[in-house]
């Protein structure tokens, strides 16, 4: 699955969300990621303090941030 396919899947889930239906305008990965990434980066600093699941959850969240940023960079702002 390449970055464009990942973005299509995310966009389809975002557009089907009840929260997206309540928002004016189109909701897409490219419009959501710039707001979501800083929040996820903040969470990754606190998650390790959760007993038992903290370290694995932080690792999974870090991977999500990394993949999300790659998808954003390659599909929302592709290099010329």
HEC string for the chain: CCHHHHHHHHHHHHHHCHHHHCCCCCCCHHHHHHHHHHHHHHHHHHHHHCCCCHHHHHHHHHHHHHHHHHHHHHHHCCCC
For the entire predicted model, the pTM comes to 0.72
Report which of 14, 69, 74, 72 is spatially closest to residue 44, judged by C-alpha positions: 69
Report which of 56, 21, 14 is spatially closest to residue 36, judged by C-alpha positions: 14
Place of tokens 């606190």: 46
Lowest mean pLDDT among 7-11, 12-16, 54-58: 12-16
**Residue 19 binned pLDDT confidence (cut-offs 50, 70, 90):** low
């Amino acid at each position: 699955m390449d970055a464009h396919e990942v973005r299509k899947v995310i966009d389809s889930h975002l557009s089907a969300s009840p929260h997206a239906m309540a928002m004016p305008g189109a909701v897409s990965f490219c419009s959501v990621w710039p707001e979501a990434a800083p929040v996820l980066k903040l969470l990754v600093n606190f998650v390790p303090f959760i007993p038992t699941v903290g370290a694995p959850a932080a690792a999974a969240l870090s991977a999500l941030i990394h993949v999300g940023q790659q998808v954003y960079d390659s599909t929302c702002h592709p290099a010329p």
